[in-house]
Amino acid sequence: MNKKWEIQEISDKRAEEISTKFNLGLLVSYILTEKNLNDDEIEKFLSPTRNDFYDPFEMPDMEKAVDRIEKAIKNNEKICIYGDYDADGIASTTLLKRFFRDRGIEVGAYIPNRLLEGYGLNHEAVDKIAEEKYDLMITVDTGITAVEDIEYAKSFGIDVIVTDHHEPMETIPDCIAVIDCKRQDSTYKFRELCGCGVAFKLALALCKRLNLNENEALKYLDITAIGTISDIVPLVDENRVIAKLGLMLLKQTKNVGLKALIETIRFKEINSSAVAFGISPRINACGRMGHQEIALNLLLTDDPIEARKLAAQLDSYNKERQAVEKRIFEEADRIASRETDRSTIVLAHKDWHKGVIGIVSSKLTDKYFKPSILMDIEGKEAKGSGRSIPGFDLHEALSKCSKHIKNFGGHSMAIGLSLESKYYEDFKNEFEEYAKANIDTNSVLEIKIDKEITGKELSIEEITQLDRLEPFGDSNEEPIFIFKGFKVTSIRTLSEDKHIKMRLKGDNSIELDAIGFGLADVAKTYQIGDKVDVIGNLQINSFNGMDSIQINLKDIRMAL
């Protein structure tokens, strides 16, 4: 894959101004300079508060939704929360169910089985909800495209409120309320909330209407932060406020299930990485393996013994998911490596786990820098997931190639879809032709480098201050630095030749360790004595009571 290293141009004068005004080191000040924030925006970025949330009643249909829920509470109507099986959907369901429970109202919850029912609303689920005689159904993290299924629910006399964050189709559901900031008529100041973020705003609106202290919603920011970081939405504006405040709460969470899960992942720091690589994969694993109720029960339990048992189950499902994912990736990668002339990767198999192919699709896209769609064929139907590359809108692509698709949904970078198996090849060819006409064949993977490190910026204190930029994620990526002309003084592989560890020495006699996860092939290309340019994140490595600066390697090339 062709890669382009792009070093950002940063104003030294502005960085020095920020350093002085906010009492920050120059390194973190350079990163803030790059974000082009004014002083007020920097203050909000570094220290957001609860006052930085927008009025929830500015969201489309929020007033209608709150009116209907208030009526349901007064009339003791039966309410059901309908969620999704991923970490965002489970967090959303947890938040609203706990919010109502705190009001003394027990509401039902329904999360479809990914393997048996697929994504979103379906007639069978509506039948079960109707059998339980629910009066009101509130969807979370789903529902914006479920026009027919919502009509079906209405035929049973069930009122429906949709809360979602996915892209709507031309027609939105005809129901009591549709809260989605991606609606064309939305005037809300921020449109990138995740599903749990929307549910959180509904809880805030209910606090206002029911004359409750807003803390009754804010106390669920730990749950909301998990949904936000897990769903890889841009960590800017309200999402950053949610993630920043939520992580602070997560470190001292009162949620018994979350406490048990945090103990299970054994991360040293509870930060965005702990959520993205520790908590989220375990919650998602339940949904992927068809045991979504286990993750929901964990986040809802108040029993420490049950919590530890359920957390152990989540860990077990995650290990199972990893093994299945590894097998499918190896099989898919072998096929993809033989189709190098194509602009896309579209693959299908009769024995690929529907709950895991989305992760594999993401890995293939990362490896080949191509949009990819993987599908599991089961009888007459094929269901799959896709991931995209920057500049290629996958949701729009499927809307243009929908001739053979039964259903699809998602957004520009990730989608889910289903079609009849007999049309698989037709769809594959149609999608490829569309991609060829809409992907720049000269495009390369551009790696944005925040700053060149010459040596004087390297101190434990300077690197530690980079934590002020947390939480990291989409649109607020962990800074990447470049080190030019460093000499390789040692190099070896780790963990059965999976990773690489190097010792690098600069012209100014500074020596650093660099570790590259999944980059063991580097050992075949470089050797002791080579002069290299490397890029990566800067971290503090603590070992035997000693702190040292380490590069988390992202890429390497021979020095010019």
Amino acid letter, 42: I
Q: What is the C-alpha separation between 22 and 464, in angstroms, rounded? A: 16
The fold of 3-9+447-558 is: OB fold (Dihydrolipoamide Acetyltransferase, E2P) (2.40.50)
pLDDT value at residue 169? 87
pLDDT of 417-427, one tens digit each? Answer: 999 999 999 99
Tell me what the mean pLDDT of segment 7-32 comes to: 93
Token pair in block for residue 147: 């026009």
Instruction: Report the run of H or E that residue 100 belongs to, with start and end.
Output: helix 87-102
449, β-bridge pairs: 7
Mean pLDDT of the chain: 93
Look at phi and psi of residue 198 and say left if phi exceeds 0, alpha if psi is from -120 to 50, else beta: alpha
pLDDT of 75-89, one tens digit each? Answer: 999 999 999 999 999
Greater model confidence, 540 or 62: 62
pLDDT of 474-484, one tens digit each? Answer: 999 999 999 99
Neighbours of 424 (CB within 10 A): 18
Tell me what the mean pLDDT of segment 431-455 comes to: 87
pTM: 0.89
Q: 314 phi and psi, to 5 degrees?
A: -60, -40
Q: Dihedral through CA 173, CA 174, CA 180, CA 185, nearest 10?
A: 110
Instruction: Report the run of H or E that residue 221 belongs to, with start and end.
Output: helix 221-230
**Strand residue runs (E) in 74-131:** 79-82, 108-110
Structure letter (DSSP) for residue 141: S
Tell me what the mean pLDDT of segment 190-210 comes to: 97
Identify the band that residue 2 occupies on the pLDDT scale cut at 50, 70 and 90: low
Amino acid letter, 246: G
Q: How far does CA 313 lie from the centroid of its chain?
A: 22
Q: Is the pLDDT of residue 48 over 80?
A: yes
Q: In 3D, which of 41, 48, 23 has the Cα closest to residue 465?
A: 23
pLDDT value at residue 227? 97
- C-beta of residue 107 within 8 angstroms of C-beta of residue 96: yes
pLDDT value at residue 558? 94
Q: What is the C-alpha separation between 81 and 194, in angstroms, rounded? A: 17
Identify the band that residue 355 occupies on the pLDDT scale cut at 50, 70 and 90: confident
Report domain extents, the chain. Answer: 3-9+447-558, 53-221, 337-443
% of the chain exceeding 90 in pLDDT: 81
Q: Is the pLDDT of residue 90 over 90?
A: yes
542, β-bridge pairs: 547
pLDDT of 498-550, one tens digit each? Answer: 899 999 998 877 889 999 998 888 888 999 999 999 999 999 988 777 888 99
448, β-bridge pairs: 6
What is the CATH architecture assignment of 337-443? Roll (3.10)
Tell me what the mean pLDDT of segment 448-466 comes to: 88
pLDDT of 155-185, one tens digit each? Answer: 999 999 999 999 898 899 999 999 999 999 9
Does this chain's domain 3-9+447-558 share its CATH topology with 53-221?
Answer: no
pLDDT value at residue 156? 98
pLDDT value at residue 291? 94
> 53-221 has which CATH code?
3.90.1640.30
- C-beta of residue 395 within 8 angstroms of C-beta of residue 169: no
CA atoms within 13 A on the CB side of 390: 7
pLDDT of 290-321, one tens digit each? Answer: 999 999 999 999 999 999 999 999 999 999 99
Rg (CA), the chain: 24
Distances (CA, A) of 55 to 59, 203, 214: 8, 12, 12
Distances (CA, A) of 446 to 32, 198, 480: 21, 32, 12
Q: Is the pLDDT of residue 20 over 70?
A: yes
pLDDT value at residue 229? 96
Residues 6+ apart with CB under 8 A from 295: 87, 90, 282, 283, 286, 287, 314
Amino acid letter, 405: I
- C-beta of residue 504 within 8 angstroms of C-beta of residue 487: yes
Tell me what the mean pLDDT of segment 262-277 comes to: 94
